[in-house]
Structures are given as C-alpha cells and as structure tokens.
C-alpha cells in the first residue's frame, strides 16, 4: 500500500487489500472512503470485504464509487461532506487519482488553486488539467 498525503487529515492510495486495514488503523484512520466501483477489475477485492475488516478495526466505512471521468457535483459534495468531520480519513480507488480529483474539486472554493495543484503534485498526482474546472468551482 502506497499512502499519499493530501492534507493533515486525508491520505489516499490505490486499491486496498484486507491486510492493509491494520496499518491504516495504526495510523489513526477513523474513516475509509472507497471511490472504486465493485467489479472494476477481476482481481479487485469487493468493497464489503474491505469494509468488514475496517469495521472490525473501528474504522467507519463509506462507499462512494465513481466511474473514471464521470465525477458529478453530487460526488464532489458527498466527498467534501465526508471530509468535514476533521477526523483522519483514507480514500482509495484503483490508483488514488479519482480520490485526489474528488479532494481537489471539493476544496476549490476554500483553497488557492495553485496550492491544491501543488499539493497533489507533491503526492505524485498531476491534476494540472483540472485547473479550469477548479477555477470554475472556486467561482461558484
């Protein structure tokens, strides 16, 4: 599991396995967000398997599946609402990119666009192509 930090309370990664859950719990993760639809790949553990293990470790689970390239305003709003608790949260998808896009879009009205893009880049995600969409969301 390759964990990337986007904020003091949010980390992201690619697909988790049940064996990753204990490491997340030891890092103080209180919420787990799955942004990957079940069945996207044949070798992908189902959300329920991950969620069962996470719940046993005391982590609240949230299933917010997003199809790549089809993020909606509702997806962004729900993701932002899940982050609003201020508790340590980990989000995952296939590579962490969808989670990073959702984070960036949910933060556009509260943070400088360059700061969002630079934070994502420092975590290994080039989201510079979202600049116009981030600017549009920031102006709403």
Residue 140 has pLDDT above 80, yes or no: no
Q: Rounded to an integer, what distance in angstroms lies between the CA atom of residue 23 and that of residue 101?
A: 24
In the chain, the domains with their CATH numbers are 4-138 (3.90.190.10)
pLDDT for residue 136: 84
Give the Å distances, CA to CA, from 66 to 24, 35, 91: 22, 5, 12
pLDDT per position as a tens digit, 11-61: 999 999 999 999 999 999 999 999 999 999 999 999 999 999 999 999 999
User: Looking at residue 63, what is its pLDDT?
Assistant: 97
| Cα distance between residue 23 and residue 52, in whole Å | 15
Q: What are phi and psi of 34, to 5 degrees?
A: -100, 120
Beta strand 4-5 pairing with 10-13: antiparallel
Rg (CA), the chain: 14
Residue 109 is predicted with a pLDDT of 85
């Amino acid at each position: 599991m390759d964990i990337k930090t986007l904020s003091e309370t949010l980390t992201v990664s690619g697909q988790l396995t049940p064996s990753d859950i204990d490491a997340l719990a030891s890092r103080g993760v209180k919420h787990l967000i799955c942004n990957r639809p079940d069945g996207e790949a044949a070798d992908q553990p189902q959300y329920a398997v991950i969620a069962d293990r996470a719940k046993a470790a005391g982590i609240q689970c949230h299933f917010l599946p997003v199809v790549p390239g089809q993020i909606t305003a509702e997806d962004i709003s729900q993701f932002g609402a899940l982050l609003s608790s201020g508790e340590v949260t980990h989000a995952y998808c296939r590579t962490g990119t969808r989670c990073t896009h959702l984070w960036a879009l949910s933060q556009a009205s509260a943070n400088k666009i360059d700061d969002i893009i630079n934070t994502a880049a420092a975590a290994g995600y080039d989201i510079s192509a979202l600049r116009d969409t981030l600017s549009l969301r920031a102006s709403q």
